[in-house]
Amino acid sequence: MVCIDTFWRALGTALLLAVAGLPGQAVAAAPPLEAYGKLPALERVAMSPSGERIAMIGDVEGVRRLVVLDQQKKPLIVVPVEDAKVRGLYWAGEDRVLAYKSDTKEIFGFNVDRAEFGTMVVIPLDGSPMWQVFGKYPEIRGGVQSFRGIQQRGGKYYGYFVGNSYTLDPKDTRQVCRSSVLYEVDLQTQKASEIAPCFLGGYRTWVVGPDGTVQATMDFTSLDGKWIVRNAKGDHIAEGTSLLGDVGLVGLGATPGTVIYSETPKNGDTRWFEVPLAGGEAKEILADSSLDESFFDSNTRRFTGYRQQGDIPAYTFFDPFRQKVINAAVKAFPGVSVQLQDWNDAFDKLVVMTEGPGDPQTWWTVDIRTGNAAEIGNSYLIGSADVGPMKMVHYKAGDGLDIPAVLTLPPGREAKGLPVVVLPHGGPHARDYPAFDWWAQAFASRGYAVLQPNFRGSSGYGDDFRRAGHGEWGRKMQTDLSDGLAYLAQQGIVDARRACIVGASYGGYAALAGVTLQQGLYRCAVAVSGVSDVAKMSVEDSDAGSDPLIRRALKEELGAFKDLRAVSPINFADKADAPILLIHGKDDTVVKYEQSKDMAAALQQAGKAVELVTLAREDHWLSRSETRLAMIQAVVAFVEKWNPADHAP
């Protein structure tokens, strides 16, 4: 911890001194794979409204635990969570912590046999028993589908949750509701009260005001794409048509008495509109801004600021005080990304996470009132000198499109003639950043350069770039990857003859396509939870719930359902020109396990080299420490076997 007396200017100096304390010195040998593969030693940090207490999920003596600390870092409560899949931490006042977790469960009577169910656990700090939201309401069988925040009213705290009974009773009309029901839950008595019903035949979303009432409702009809925004009185204040469902309620506007909705017209950019709740003209806001995340005040629930899209996070807050605070915090950590994670009600205490060159994700509390910056801990217990340097590079695709990519290099090695792992992201509507990536760092620690292309279809570069991927699975989205490999080889950074391709989800599909649809590029391929049969996936997803919106969206994404067999690696198993490793979790509810099982069978029938690793009790997101570590160990061993890092080809 560092202390200073001067306010704004000196705050930056204090934090700069604190940054000098980033973790340790280089060691002779590379860190063990456990340092990368296990779940982070520190995962989540949430700050109480006063800023005097923090809750976190971390590794304590080898066990994952929920820990709550007071201002003197004294533990107030320590609760083992072990392998629970905790997705979020929240505070209700100073005396209750809410932990949101999910579990994979079998379901019956639907088009899928497994689904992910959410649970919100309320943990009182006074020693009272923990309890689950909806725990007293067995008819709400779907658990907590989504969380809409916490509000204080009359000295009590209330939470807002979306739930669904998932009943199979044909007389119960709620079974056809897609957006489910909004409930207010008294976080003291556990009482759940329905405050907004579901919408038959489509989707419904809500905005809750500071008084706990629904201020605005958006209904979207799947059949024809029509949407309507209504105020609390039921008056129409905005409406339109979006066949692909590219609309949504954002929240209460920065201007009192308004609500914000978003709309993405076909072949246009996403636009935000602020409309009076009483009715009136909808005005476009932030037309020249590219938003990555929006922030709302915890008390007024109004829009207060946003994070801009970009390689390095940049923040805009409408209140001058808040803007000054975040500017000082960002300036104090030069050379790394500063991720704003949480803050107190007064916005004079922050929780930030820094990551980037030399920084394996460090968590900090920043106290503006005193000028103190205190390190909480690190996500990955790796010395700063053992963090492989990462940076953005740009290259041209075959058709001239500019492709940005993240390049991570082995620490302490010359960037010349290196073996390389091409690591495309999942999604495909996602992107990679020049930040600490545990997969990339694991490979870099073993001597590999790692290329993570943000190929066409990635998010974060505007709607035109995202739409450029429509219909390009296995086509230009695929050659965007190999064009990046060629670029690095031309620069002399890598040896193109010593390349493997590795990915998960869509990235797993790209890995399979790299050695079946493409030829002569990679020494090996690894697909984790990858799609092998695009045609089968599209049929299964189209049939899910018989929702016309899903069918339209798939048609848009995959290119009007062209012959998807032509871009399905399973149909080209006999063309595979490199060994393939398939890894898949049995509890995957996003990409079915059969996608890997069937691909393994097809490759075996074709006489090709293939290994299949099945992860029991693991989902699509590698949420469990034991299986996540098993995955990275298997992947690194496979790549080292077929593409050794320290030997000439």
Between 300 and 5, name the one with better pLDDT.
Answer: 300
Q: Is the pLDDT assigned to residue 580 strictly greater than 90? A: yes
| Pair 134, 118: CB distance under 8 Å | no
How is residue 544 annotated by DSSP? G
pLDDT tier, 201 (very low <50, low <70, confident <90, very high otherwise):
confident
> What is the model's pLDDT at position 557?
77
pLDDT tier, 143 (very low <50, low <70, confident <90, very high otherwise):
confident
Mean local confidence (pLDDT), 498-503: 98
Q: Is the pLDDT assigned to residue 277 strictly greater than 70? A: yes
Residue 214 pairs in a beta bridge with 208
- Picking from 99-113, 199-213, 267-281, 339-353, which range would have the lowest pLDDT averaged per residue? 99-113
The percentage of residues in the chain with a pLDDT greater than 90, rounded to a whole number, is 73
> What is the model's pLDDT at position 270?
85
Amino acid type, 420: V
pLDDT tier, 369 (very low <50, low <70, confident <90, very high otherwise):
confident
pLDDT tier, 431 (very low <50, low <70, confident <90, very high otherwise):
very high
> What is the model's pLDDT at position 22?
41
pLDDT tier, 541 (very low <50, low <70, confident <90, very high otherwise):
low
Q: How far apart are CA 603 and CA 324, in angstroms?
A: 58
What H or E segment, with its residue span, contains residue 378?
Answer: strand 372-378
pLDDT tier, 179 (very low <50, low <70, confident <90, very high otherwise):
low
Residue 474 CB-density burial (10 A; 0-12 exposed, 13-18 middle, 19+ buried): buried
Pairs from 48-51 (Cβ < 8 Å, separation ≥ 24): 48/91, 48/93, 48/94, 48/344, 49/91, 49/93, 49/94, 49/298, 49/344, 49/345, 50/94, 50/344, 50/345, 51/343, 51/344, 51/345, 51/346, 51/348, 51/349, 51/367
pLDDT tier, 24 (very low <50, low <70, confident <90, very high otherwise):
very low
Of these ranges, 150-154, 217-221, 438-442, the one predicted with the greatest mean pLDDT is 438-442
Q: Is the pLDDT assigned to residue 120 strictly greater than 60? A: yes
| Pair 638, 610: CB distance under 8 Å | no
What H or E segment, with its residue span, contains residue 369?
Answer: none
pLDDT tier, 2 (very low <50, low <70, confident <90, very high otherwise):
very low
Q: How far apart are CA 499 and CA 412, in angstroms?
A: 20
- Tokens linked to 556: 């848009």
* Torsion angle (degrees, nearest 10) of CA 304, 310, 311, 314: -30
375: closest CA among 21, 4, 70? Answer: 21
Query: Hey, CA dihedral for 529, 533, 539, 540, is it positive or negative?
Result: negative
> What is the model's pLDDT at position 140?
82
628: closest CA among 513, 528, 519, 518? Answer: 528
Mean pLDDT across the chain, nearest whole number? 89
Q: Is the pLDDT assigned to residue 648 strictly greater than 50? A: no
Mean local confidence (pLDDT), 204-215: 95
How is residue 14 annotated by DSSP? H
Amino acid type, 44: R
- Tokens linked to 354: 């820094």
Q: Is the pLDDT assigned to residue 11 strictly greater than 60? A: no
Mean local confidence (pLDDT), 308-334: 94
Strand 96-106, strand 85-91: pairing: antiparallel
The percentage of residues in the chain with a pLDDT greater than 70, rounded to a whole number, is 89
Mean local confidence (pLDDT), 17-27: 39
Please tell me the total number of residues recorded for the chain in this structure. Answer: 649
Tell me the three state secondary structure of residue 193.
Answer: strand
Between 641 and 470, name the one with better pLDDT.
Answer: 641
| Pair 159, 147: CB distance under 8 Å | yes
Q: How far apart are CA 123 and CA 625, in angstroms?
A: 24
* Torsion angle (degrees, nearest 10) of CA 37, 41, 45, 51: -160
Mean local confidence (pLDDT), 583-598: 94
611: closest CA among 587, 644, 576, 646? Answer: 576
Q: Is the pLDDT assigned to residue 1 strictly greater than 50? A: no
> What is the model's pLDDT at position 203?
86
> What is the model's pLDDT at position 560?
56
- Tokens linked to 428: 């495909």
- Picking from 20-24, 109-113, 211-215, 455-459, which range would have the lowest pLDDT averaged per residue? 20-24
> What is the model's pLDDT at position 290?
83
> What is the model's pLDDT at position 236?
96
Contacts of 278 by beta carbon, 8 Å cutoff, 6+ apart: 231, 237, 257
- Picking from 122-136, 341-355, 478-492, 560-574, which range would have the lowest pLDDT averaged per residue? 560-574
Residue 535 CB-density burial (10 A; 0-12 exposed, 13-18 middle, 19+ buried): middle
46: closest CA among 123, 104, 98, 105? Answer: 98
- Picking from 188-192, 244-248, 506-510, 541-545, which range would have the lowest pLDDT averaged per residue? 541-545
145: closest CA among 171, 125, 174, 172? Answer: 174
435: closest CA among 373, 477, 494, 388? Answer: 388
What confidence tens digit (pLDDT) does each residue in 101-113 have? 988 877 654 555 6
* Neighbour count for residue 605 (Cβ, 10 Å): 10
For 309-368, give the DSSP string: PSSS-EEEESSHHHHHHHHHHHHTSTTSEEEEEEE-TTSSEEEEEEEETTEEEEEEEEET
Between 494 and 371, name the one with better pLDDT.
Answer: 494
pLDDT tier, 530 (very low <50, low <70, confident <90, very high otherwise):
very high
In degrees, rounded to 5, the angle at the alpha carbon of residue 344 between the alpha carbons of residues 341 and 349 is 80
Between 545 and 510, name the one with better pLDDT.
Answer: 510
In angstroms, the first-to-last Cα distance of the chain is 50
What confidence tens digit (pLDDT) does each residue in 382-427 have? 999 999 999 999 999 999 999 999 999 999 999 999 999 999 999 9
Strand 449-453, strand 402-408: pairing: antiparallel
> What is the model's pLDDT at position 288?
82
* Overall pTM surpassing 0.85 (yes/no): yes
pLDDT tier, 429 (very low <50, low <70, confident <90, very high otherwise):
very high
Q: How far apart are CA 356 and CA 437, in angstroms?
A: 9
What H or E segment, with its residue span, contains residue 596?
Answer: helix 594-605
